[in-house]
Each structure stands twice: as C-alpha cells, then as structure tokens.
Structure 1
Amino acid sequence: MTGRLIDESSGTTSPSLPTNNRIDPIKSMKRRNAHSSIALVSMALLATVVAAQESTTSLEVETDRGWIVGERAGELSPVAVFRGIPYAEPPVGDLRWRAPQPKLPWADKRPALEFGPACVSQRSALRTDQVRDEDCLYLNVWTRSAGTDQSLPVMVWIHGGAFSLGSGHNEMYDGTRFAESGVVLVALNYRLGLFGFFAHPALAQEEGGRGPFNQGILDQIAALQWVQRNIESFGGDPGRVTIFGESAGSISVCYLVASPFAKGLFHRAIGQSGGCLDRHPTLLDGTPAAGRSVPGEPRLGGHEVALRVAAGLEASGPGLEGLAELRGLTLRELVFRFSRNGLSLPRKSVYVDGHMFPDQMRTLLEKGLGSRVPLLVGSNTDEGRSLFVRTREIPWEEWSESVRNRPHGHGRALLEAYAGDAKESTRTAQQQMLADSLFAWNARQWARTASGLGDDAFLYVFSHAAPSRQWGRTYGAYHAAEIRYVFGNPLLSDWNDQDQALANLVHTYWVNFATKGDPNGDGLPEWPAYHSDSDIALNLNADPEPITNYRMAKLDTHELINSF
C-alpha cells in the first residue's frame, strides 16, 4: 500500500517588483495599430467559440486500456473534460524509481471526473490542501471533438515547479479555452524530486546497465506515447502534437527536444522561461560527458549524490539490497528521514546519463541529434525580481568584489556588464543577472541553435505588467505571469480590457503555432522569425511590436560563460 499525503496547490506564479527595464523598438519598422489588431483577434475567437458550440463531443471514449467517461466543462459548454486518466501503472512498491510501466487494462467504464493525485516530493510532502501521492501518473484532456472524425492540433502542457512542486491540474491550466479554440489540450503529471530524479547506481543493475535515472522525464515520454496511441479518439491529430511548458516545464521541453528517446512523439515545441543549454549539467560517472567537466570546478556526480542520499535515508549499503530497503519504506518514513537528516538533491535535477541524454543537452541540440521541430521560446522581463525576492541590497564595493572573484575569470566580464545596474541597486543587478542566465539567455540561445540548424524559431519577451497583488504590492511581468494569458484564465477579478485583449492575442499566437508551426495569422501584429543576424523578438505587451538585440551585451556575457 502506498501512503497518501495532503499538499497545498502549488501555483507557479511568483511576485515581482516593478521594473525599470526599457525595451527599445525597431526604429525602422512601421508601428502597427496593435489595439485594432487585438480587437480583430477577439472577434475571431468569438467566432471560433460560436462554431464550437455547434459541435458535438462524446463523453465516453475508448482508450487502448479501456473506456473512460468524462463530463462537460460547464453546463452549456461544448467542451468535454476527461480528468485523472492513468497513463502508466502506479510507481509504488517495487516500481518506485523504475521506468513507467504500461497501465493494465480495466474492464468496466472508468469515471474520468476527478483529477488524480498530484505527484509528491520531499519538498511538498508536509503541505496541505491538495492530495499528493506516489500514485500520480495521470493526465487530463480537454476537447470539443471526442468521438468525431476531426483531426485537431494537440497541445501537451508540462507544468513547472523546480522539478519538486506542481501538478497538471492547477486551475491556471484549465484547458477549456484551448478546446474552444480548436485544440485538444493534454496536461500531465510526472514524478518529482526524490521520486523522479534519483540516480542510484543499483538501478542500472536492474536494467541491464541502463538505469532509469531520470524517472520524471521518462514519465513525460510515456505520457507522449499515450498521446500517440490514443489522441485520435479525442479528436486530436497525433501528427500535430505541440509540447509546451513553463519554468521546469519549459526546461523539460528543452530536454525532450534534445533527447533521441523522444523523437517522433511531438512536432512543435514552446518554451516559456526555461532552457537546458548551459554547459554545467549534473553528470553521471562513466558517461562520455563526465570526462569533460570544467577544469578546476568541483563536480559531484549524480551517482555519488544518490548514494549520499541513500546513506542518509539509512540504507544498509550501496547495492541492490540497500535499494530494496528504500523501496520497502513507506512514503511518510522516506520523507521523514530525508527531512530529519538534512538531505538535499542537486538544483539541476536531470542527469546526463549516457542513454536518454548521450551527451550534454546543448551538444545534442547543436548537432540536431534530438527532434528538429519549429520552436517558440521566450522569457519575462521581471523574473529575477520575482524569484529572488530575498536578495539583499549590499554596498557596491561588497557586490563588485563578490562578482569579480567568480571562478574561471568570468567575474570581470559580469562586472562590466552589470556595473551600471548595480550602481543604481546591487539587489536589482544581482536579481537581473540570475534571471538573464536562467531565462533570457537560455531563450535566446535556444532560438539561435534552432535557427542555426535551419529550423523555424520565434522568440518573445513578455513585458506586460500583469495584475497580481501579494504582500500588499503590485508586480510587473513576473515569473509565470504569461501563463494566464496563454491559457486565457484570468483567475483574478482585477483584469481589465487591456489584459483580456492581450490574453486573446497571446492565446491566438500559441494556437496558430500549434496548428501550423507559425504564430502569425490574419489581423495579428507580425511576429518575425528569429535569425541570429538580426536577433529579433516580439515584445508581448499591450502594444506588441518586434524588437532587436534585447539585453544583448548582458546575454553575450552569459554566452561567454557557457561557451567552453
């Protein structure tokens, strides 16, 4: 029996402080009347919804494992929602830390009316309000075309949460609006933290030398395989699947694009604030990439981390017997020991394992060894100020000294790039430096890599100050702010007409990209394709327009740091 814990819903929205960043438009490009364009988008979407209301959808669907029964998203809604569909066997008991196993068939019609439990992690186990369990490999589907012969584009959402929090059924991720717009929307759970990224070397002994060390990513692949087998029954086209995600979900999208294991399972990719192109991933001993670690930089391999954690969990040894002991622990006991003994996992949870990832992710992307698909990618302007709210204001001299002394001689380059910001505020400079590295640089470099291979790429910068009140303050374009606009789910009562118009526009761009691999469409502000020679992006706000060379000098500095 697996234990079940209660955890609070972990939305990924984070607050941010107002920004002073200025984005300069292309001076030579004619300014469009974006408000008129957005109004046209709203009219087009209304027509889509009216057409949707005339469609019929079945509430009973036969999958390859058995029948499921869903319900309408609302009393008069044309959309059917199927919640809590299992795509693999529960990863509990002897299946803990193993690759996801095929779900056994069921005989009766299975109700798909409630979301399945969210995946538990060592971070979330003691929280409340939302059911969390190891038995969590479920997905949800929103569609207006189940049981029909339609073949609609499919979008698969991968949630964020630092690979340790979150689920596929946060209310922000409600897929009704996408279904009304002619998309079949799938949102999935995947294993997290200690349960999803545990590289114990004994796992390789069970799998003939190829251990399932990235269990959470294997879950995502299993869900995509489920989509390929079943999505036609929901009115979806298995040949037009777009994967998209935010933060850790966006990083997951990057991993899936890079991995040869996921080839053929999707056909477009959208990354929202997250990538995998840095040169410092967590490696596993014995892999080709492990021999190319940064000279002079201490490196703790993934196997070594797992063995330290196993010892801290009081396993009797490093082999199969010790692993079996850990599998025999209840969920509560495992989490209790992890917390009591002060254990931790690497910030970069996904491992270069030599199999799913035969080399560093950036190398795989640059060589085109994964999936060659159209890409839409970007970041938000205030992510550093929202994520790193605990950063302190310190004297200029102290800040400059700490930056100057960074290893590998990069400190001087960073100091030169951010000195102007730091003289205004060392806190803001530090926050922006971290955000540029994690988000803006990763987005630009990912677009450059795809474009350099000849794949279509579209880059964005989301700069709209989204309404969000927390701790008595109003925030800007914070981390995850764009999600509500992408899904068209305001959640807050303080959205104004400008917010709704921008949501119509952003949502339409995403739907167009999923439909044809290009976000552009009639009546929309033009979104130029990315090319490294022009370094062009679309500034997404109430007056959207193309921009060039966004934070170029600073992002070039981060490219220098990651270029060896």
Structure 2
Amino acid sequence: MRRMLFGLLVGASLATPVLAQTSVATDAGTVAGAADTEVISFKGIPYAAPPVGPLRWKAPERALAWNGVREAKVYGNACPQPVRTEAWAQVGAQSEDCLFLNVWRPKKPGKYPVMVFMHGGGFVFGAAGVPLYEGSGLAARGAVVVTMNYRLGRLGYFAHPALTREDPDGKLGNFGVMDQIASLEWVKRNIAGFGGDPGNVMIFGESAGAGAVQILMGSPAATGLFHKAASQSGSGSTVLAPIRGGAINAEMLGQKFTDDLGLKDATAAQLRAIPVAEIIKARAFPFIDGKVVTMSPGEAFYKNKQTRIPLIIGSNSNESSLGGMTEATAKMVLGSAFPELHAGYIALTGKAPDAAAVDLAEGLGFVLPSIAVADQHAATGNKAFAYYFDQVPVDQRATAAGTDHGGELEYLFGNKAAEHRWDAEDLKVSKQMGDYWVRFATTGDPNGKGAARWPAVTTPPTNYLVIGAKPHAARLAPVEEKVKAAAMAAAIKTWAAPAAP
C-alpha cells in the first residue's frame, strides 16, 4: 500500500502513472483498485443495481452508472443472512444493497483465463468478501479471479402468488441464481479491461456454490457465459421442488411464510414492506421455475442437456462433518441392500461397523453422486476430471477423521484459516491444488509438468485423483460402484416424475 501511495505522489515524473495501472473503465464507470507485489485487486464493484425497494424480489438490473473514479479497495456489503459464530465465516456489514463482486488480476499485462467463484453456505450464508476467498494467490499463478455475492435465503429464493400475478411471464423466484448469471454477464462485458479473456471463463464453487455450478450447466439462461466448470462438494443427486404442483412447492412455502406473518392474500407491495429481519429467519433454497432453473443439480447430466464443457468435480474425505450422513440415513436410502453394502464398506475401509456406516452414508450423500455426474459428463463426450481431497492442517492431522466439508478451500486459495497451522506438507498441497485449477482454467486440462498425473474419467470403474500429501490416481472399488448406482436410483426416479412449470 505504501508503494502505491508513493507512486501516486511522484506520478507526474513517471512515464506511466500508477493510477493508470490500477484504474479500469467498466460499462457503469471507472474503478480504482490497489496494487500489491504481484497482483492488482478491485473490491466492491457493483455488477447490478441494488435490489431494494421496488427491486426486491425482481430479476437483477444493470448497475447504476457513476461519474468520476470509484474507489474499489474494500469489499461491498454482504447479502442479509443470519449471524454465524465461526471466525472464518464472518462476512462483515450486511445490506440488501449487496450485489458486488471483486476482481484480482496479475500485475503483468496479458490476456488471462477468468475464474469466477461462487461461495457456499447452503444458499443462506456466505459472501464474496470472506477472507478465505481472497484471490491474490490464484491470480498470481496467471488468472483473473472474480468472487461475487448473490442474494441468499428468502431474499434470494422466494415464490409467492402475488409475485407471480405481478409478472406471470417473467423470471420468477430464483433471484440468487439470476444474480449469478448477471455477474457472468458483467464479466462478459467488462473483464477484458481487467486483463481477462471473456472467451475463456471458468466457474467454480463449493457446497451450495457447487450446486449452483451444476444448476448453471443445465440452465438455458446461462448458455455461452462460461467455458469450464468445477463443482466442489456439491453432490449430484439433489432434488429440487417445483415452483408449483406436487405435494410441496415453492409458491406453497412462500404463501405459508406470509400467512404466518398475518399477511393473508398479500400484495406484492406488502411483501416488499416485510422487514429484512423477518425474511432472513427462514431458510430457502433454489427450486425449478421452468425458465432460469429448469432442472435439479445433476439432472441435466443424466438427460444429456448439460453445457458441453470441461468439468472438474469431487469431494472431501470427511463430508460427514456437514451432518446428516449417518447409519440411519444409509439404511433409509438403501433399504434391504444396506447389510450387503455395509459389509462391503467394512471390508473396504477396515473400519469398525459404525464408522464404516458413516463412510457409506457419506458416499451416498456426497462422494459418489459427484463421481456419477463425472461419469455421465464423460459418457456424452465431454472432458471430466474427478477428485477426492484428503489433506488436513498439521495441527489437526493426528485426530481428524479427514478433510471436513469446505476444508479444501484454504488450500485452493492459499489462505490458511486463522485457527489452523500449516507445515511444509500443507504448503505443498496448496501449491499443487492451485496449480491444477489454474491450468484447468487455462487449457481445460489440469495436468502439467512436475504434477501427479490426473486421469480423465472414461468408463467405470471411475478414475479419479486423490489430492493430498501423496497425490495419486485411483479407481472406485466394486462396492463403491454399487453404492454409486444406488445413490442415483432414487434421484433419477424423482427427476423422471413430471413437475409443474
């Protein structure tokens, strides 16, 4: 920062002032970023108009233009959400005026691949400004990195008869997904000014962000906006409710929410007057609206309607840290097949029956549906690379069951979580993972000189790469192939059922 200020003071004597290196014109106005040793960062850039007042629960509109140079050196507001206590998950100031993105680019001029990250948090929590997602480490490898906010909870995913009556032919309900698409449209229009190649954009996301990646790969509204994708711990067997029809639908849930507030037969204006504090109390998720979200995550791959681009997809070695992946869950899904497959997991893992049952449930819920998506993508002639991440910071290595849900992110971004310690092994894994992702963003293939060979997915038993201290290629065991098939059977059956538009 001191170097940048010094450059501004003496800029009159330089052939190229520092300001020219850190200022970029966008279609809404000029932004001024901050230069560091290797990268230039631009934070808090509005990519859409504030979705407040009459724009609450409407599709995002273009960002409002400004005059002069807008400082882009601090993160914008996070979208409203419940408070979390974890140190790493603090999002800073919140406001409905939250549609901001951040850009990191290498200092050296060039035409770089673009990596657009979609944060996790169950579609309820999170923000692009969480320190874990700071993009300097990835950008320094030779990429333009973008992180973005999108509307969360009932502000982001809300259908109601009053909103449908207001605009029956419009894009309804999935405002958070519309925000993600709007950010990609901003990238297409503006990223060249930041040194990015609008014809080489990769989207990548974790957890809910990974589910969003899969949704966007099946959404006609996102066609042509990205060219590579990575889905990290996003499963692949999720089933979304429809906007209307069926036993449970999004409009029904929206109506119940307002009825419980005492707003019977509410108008759209009354909905937009509900205090934010009331809105964020209830969880909400994407649903099938028929225009923006047309299929559940994973479904497009089984119907051969996904975007035909290179894909990385995988999960971590302790996804059960997320909760809900228990022996009871495995029994419910597998029914009479549970004893045989449980015995197979005991033999495969060498663990006690209760621990093997958790691994089985974890395979059903996260690990193997991701592999199944990779299989389907490869079977239709697309490049697919599957992974299994298994690295734990040195301070947890002796006691951890594996890499927790989301635990790969500090390695990918190269930003050690404040509560962890790293050793040389952790640093090596971080470099390895970041290099794989940036090579993939650049060429569509993560492989490169000096790295463990990452085999592409071909035919079952599925190839994948174990990413960790000793990276190596592996293949699914026969019992895992059986569990993978069982994991997808229920989802496929549900996807096949007709849903109301």
Alignment of 1:170 onto 2:133? no
2: CA distance between counterparts of 1:562 and 1:468?
A: 39
Q: Which of the residues 345, 358, 369 maps onto 1:442?
A: 369
1: CA distance between counterparts of 2:91 and 2:367?
A: 34
Alignment of 1:132 onto 2:58? no
Share of identical aligned residues, percent? 34
Q: Secondary structure at the match of 2:93?
A: strand
Q: Secondary structure at the match of 1:142?
A: strand
Deviation at 1:314, TM superposition (A): 2.4
Q: Which of the residues 322, 327, 332 maps onto 2:272?
A: 327
**Is the 2:369–2:487 contact (alpha carbons within 8 Å) kept by the matching residues of 1?**
no
**Is the 2:235–2:367 contact (alpha carbons within 8 Å) kept by the matching residues of 1?**
no
**Paired amino acid for 1:304:** M
**Structure-2 change in CA distance of 1:427 and 1:283 (3 Å):** farther
**Paired amino acid for 2:150:** Y
Map of 1:61 onto structure 2:
24
**Structure-2 change in CA distance of 1:421 and 1:372 (3 Å):** closer
**Structure-2 change in CA distance of 1:308 and 1:211 (3 Å):** farther
1: CA distance between counterparts of 2:91 and 2:290?
A: 39
Residues 203-282 of structure 1 mapped to structure 2, 5 A cutoff: 203-278=163-238, 280-282=239-241
1: CA distance between counterparts of 2:19 and 2:314?
A: 36
Deviation at 1:122, TM superposition (A): 5.0
TM-score by length of structure 1 reads: 0.77
Number of residues of Structure 1 aligned to a counterpart in Structure 2: 467
**Paired amino acid for 2:244:** D
1: CA distance between counterparts of 2:51 and 2:467?
A: 41
**Is the 2:388–2:464 contact (alpha carbons within 8 Å) kept by the matching residues of 1?**
yes
Deviation at 1:128, TM superposition (A): 7.8
TM-score by length of structure 2 reads: 0.86
Q: Secondary structure at the match of 1:529?
A: coil
Alignment of 1:91 onto 2:39? no
Deviation at 1:358, TM superposition (A): 3.3
**Structure-2 change in CA distance of 1:177 and 1:440 (3 Å):** same
Structure 2 segments unaligned to the other structure (5+ residues): 1-17, 494-501
Alignment of 1:418 onto 2:342? yes
**Paired amino acid for 1:267:** H
Q: Which of the residues 511, 515, 530 maps onto 2:457?
A: 530
Deviation at 1:458, TM superposition (A): 0.3
Q: Which of the residues 405, 412, 416 maps onto 1:479?
A: 405
Residues 458-473 of structure 1 mapped to structure 2, 5 A cutoff: 458-467=385-394
Q: Which of the residues 348, 351, 374 maps onto 2:310?
A: 374
Map of 2:287 onto structure 1:
351
**Is the 1:68–1:109 contact (alpha carbons within 8 Å) kept by the matching residues of 2?**
yes
Map of 2:6 onto structure 1:
none
**Paired amino acid for 1:311:** D
**Is the 2:82–2:125 contact (alpha carbons within 8 Å) kept by the matching residues of 1?**
no
Map of 1:553 onto structure 2:
482
Residues 25-44 of structure 1 mapped to structure 2, 5 A cutoff: none
**Is the 1:57–1:78 contact (alpha carbons within 8 Å) kept by the matching residues of 2?**
no
**Structure-2 change in CA distance of 1:284 and 1:208 (3 Å):** closer
Alignment of 1:305 onto 2:234? no
Higher relative contact order, structure no. (Cα contacts within 8 Å, ≥ 6 residues apart): 1
2: CA distance between counterparts of 1:132 and 1:513?
A: 34
Map of 2:319 onto structure 1:
383
Deviation string for 1:177-213 (max 9, x for gaps)? 1111110000000000111011113322233433421
Q: Secondary structure at the match of 2:221?
A: helix
Q: Secondary structure at the match of 1:271?
A: strand
